[in-house]
Amino acid sequence: MSDTFVIAARIPMGRKAFEQWLETPAPGAEVIENHGAMYDGWFWDGKAPDWRQAGEGTTPREYFADCFGEDAGGLTYVLRYRAGALEAYLMHFGFCESNIYTALVMLAAAGRLSSEAAPSTVLFWAETSGSMFAADSDGWLATLSVGVDGARFAADIDLTATIAELRTAEASYFDLLVRLSEVEESVGAEGESSFAAIARDPRYVDAAVLAES
């Protein structure tokens, strides 16, 4: 099993809805209809999720702004509003349970603000490079359907369209990795401050995420 864990989603919504989401406190695990079934049917089938790890009551803006700070080691995030949708491609080095479960309840809540009737799919997986699997792979860890009618885990979703829609976010994630590695390899780099500056680039994180409430 890889040490790199990723959550990714593209949820259509208006710009005002995106900013409303950023300001709305995170709900509890009950926002997901069948939260106990997170891993059912996938690689960790039979594993029980620990939703006690999920943050509740914190807004996405408060939560994710900290993830782009100076001391966010082990996180490589793309989180933005692009082409009429919230886009998230959130890489964690190691199984950071609090980060994973908190992101999932926040994205479940985001689905309620979707501008489309059809639900979107949030992907969760582990892979060394951080790239997505094929649509028919059995290596996914969880797939969460989110929309205006609620959120639930389901292992019978056709992931073809979801993966295609996330390719741009995936490319931005790899672009971010390249820029970070260039800083790491350069002589006289300014260390953590340089990494934080790159991570906060508007190509990867929407300025509204970093704005003070």
Q: Where are the beta strands (DSSP E) in the chain?
A: 4-12, 75-82, 85-93, 120-126, 142-147, 150-153
Q: State the burial class of residue 188 (Cβ atoms within 10 Å of its Cβ: 0-12, 13-18, 19+).
A: exposed
pLDDT at 33 over 90: yes
Select from 160, 153, 156 the least CA-distant residue to 135: 160
> How confident is the model at residue 41, as a pLDDT?
96
* Dihedral sign (CA 25, 26, 27, 28): negative
Tens of pLDDT, residue by residue over 79-112, are 999 999 999 999 999 999 999 999 999 999 999 9
> How confident is the model at residue 2, as a pLDDT?
66
Select from 198, 22, 6, 162 the least CA-distant residue to 90: 6
Angle at 27 between CA 61 and CA 8, to 5 degrees: 60
> What percent of the chain lies above the pLDDT cut of 90?
81
First to last CA, the chain: 39
CB atoms within 10 A of CB 81: 20
Q: 121-154: string of b/e by CB count within 10 Å (b at 16+)?
A: bbbbbbbeebebbeeeeeebbbbbbbbeeebbbe
Neighbouring C-alpha atoms within 13 Å toward the C-beta of 153: 21
> What percent of the chain lies above the pLDDT cut of 70?
92
> How confident is the model at residue 188, as a pLDDT?
53
Q: Is residue 157 very low, low, confident or very high in pLDDT (cuts 50, 70, 90)?
A: very high
> How confident is the model at residue 191, as a pLDDT?
52
CB 144 within 8 A of CB 108: yes
Q: Is residue 193 very low, low, confident or very high in pLDDT (cuts 50, 70, 90)?
A: low
Q: Is residue 11 very low, low, confident or very high in pLDDT (cuts 50, 70, 90)?
A: very high
CB atoms within 10 A of CB 202: 10
Mean confidence (pLDDT) of the chain = 92
Tokens 């501008």 found at: 115
What is the pTM for the complete model shown?
0.94
> How confident is the model at residue 71, as a pLDDT?
66
Q: What is the residue type of 81? A: Y
